[in-house]
Amino acid sequence: MPPFVNGSDAIRLSVVIVTHNSSAAVTAALPALASQLGAGDELIVVDNASTDDTVAVVGALAPQAIVVDSPHNSGFAGGANAGARRASGDLLLFLNPDATPADGFAQAIRRPLLDASGWAAWMGLVTAERGRVINTSGGVVHFTGIAWAGEAGRPVAGAAENAREVAFVTGACLAVPRVTWDRVGGFAEDFFMYHEDVDISLRLRLAGGRLGIEPSAVVDHDYEFLKAAAKWRYLERNRWATILRTYPTLLLVLLAPALLATEIALLAASTKAGWATQKLRAGTETLRSLKSLLRQRREIQAGRRISSSDFARWLSPDLDSAYLGRAATSPVLRRLLRGYWAVVLAVLRLETQRR
């Protein structure tokens, strides 16, 4: 990593925003961001074939922005990768078009690099409802690959104020040094959207990296959990892609019964909730891409620098997300999952000790 002199101006920030019919979102967010960027920073907007006036709005609000026009909608992952290829800064920052930075954000998001935290990637504190509640203070990954925004809906007043490590960093506000980005290979473009932040976080962890949150860097996210029925398909397809690509082999073997039980439970839940078609499509697409996923797995696992036990300790046995309904509140299920996970961890520790 190149040496930096003291002061945030020495770190050139490249902000990448991916848009698709996002004129209303960028109208709120861009002025707050553009006013905080210095002479050495750059703003890159990748427009995924918008049919509204997004590009015109960007040009009016941030004339210094570099606009990358995509001829088709390549999703968040593809758009973010295209923006990163155009970027020249020392620190890449991926920011959602509907994430509005608070005062001091651009300086605060550089702090982990200035403080030599050693993090491979980090995030800011993402709030919602005009800063009243937390959108995410660090992602949580269940051992079945189900992932969610940590502390979502809790009052911001109760958020931790100190920088700390997290299980995964959110794509809504994700900072990564350029050298690290190049080494990990960017987002998985086949994901299109959703779960790509979980996947890149776990790949960074496999390679020995640490992930964190800088809570003094605050952005407010105009967030809705459900935007289209296809979200369920992407979430489930990409959850499985992440598991198959990143989970160490012994962990996969030990989790096989739990993963099978989860599939049965999710199929029943999706049927009841009306998204069974999306669930079945996700499974079909996963099977069709299995050969490619296994090839990607071999490449990713070849770069693993930590033990299966160290990887697993950042996974959670508790389904304590508000988005998971009864599964989040069942004491019986919680005891079963914790007991199962305790056995898995014990076996993984034995593997580590034998090496």
161 band by pLDDT with thresholds 50, 70 and 90: confident
Which has the closest alpha carbon to 249: 190, 209, 294? 294
Residue 3 has what pLDDT?
29
pLDDT digits (tens, 9 = 90+) for 213-256: 999 999 999 877 666 778 999 999 999 999 999 999 999 999 99
Q: Which residues of 273-302 are buried (b: 16+ CB within 10 A; e: fewer)?
A: eebbebbebbbebbeebeeebeebbeebee
Which has the closest alpha carbon to 46: 83, 88, 94? 83
Can you tell me whether residue 155 is helix, strand or coil?
Answer: strand
Rg (the chain; Cα; Å): 20
Could you give the CA distance from residue 223 to residue 215 in angstroms, rounded to a whole number?
19
pTM: 0.93
37 has pLDDT over 80? yes
Can you tell me whether residue 219 is helix, strand or coil?
Answer: strand
- Give the strand pairing for 91-95 and 13-19: parallel
Lowest mean pLDDT among 151-155, 184-188, 259-263, 315-319: 151-155
The rounded mean pLDDT for the chain is: 93
Residue 205 has what pLDDT?
98
Residue 6 has what pLDDT?
37
The Cβ of residue 56 has, within 10 Å, a number of other Cβ atoms equal to 11
180 has pLDDT over 60? yes
164 has pLDDT over 80? yes
145 band by pLDDT with thresholds 50, 70 and 90: very high
Report the pLDDT averaged over residues 75-79: 96
The Cβ of residue 306 has, within 10 Å, a number of other Cβ atoms equal to 16
Residue 213 has what pLDDT?
97
pLDDT digits (tens, 9 = 90+) for 298-346: 999 999 999 999 999 999 999 988 778 788 888 999 999 999 999 999 9
Indicate the Cα dihedral angle 299, 302, 307, 309, nearest 10°.
30
Report the pLDDT averaged over residues 112-138: 94
Task: Give me the percent of the chain exceeding a pLDDT of 70.
Answer: 97
- Would you list the domain boundaries of the chain? 10-221, 230-354
User: Domain 10-221 adopts which CATH fold?
Assistant: Spore Coat Polysaccharide Biosynthesis Protein SpsA; Chain A (3.90.550)
Residue 2 has what pLDDT?
32
Residue 4 has what pLDDT?
30
Residue 16 in contact with residue 95, Cβ under 8 Å? yes
Residue 159 in contact with residue 132, Cβ under 8 Å? no
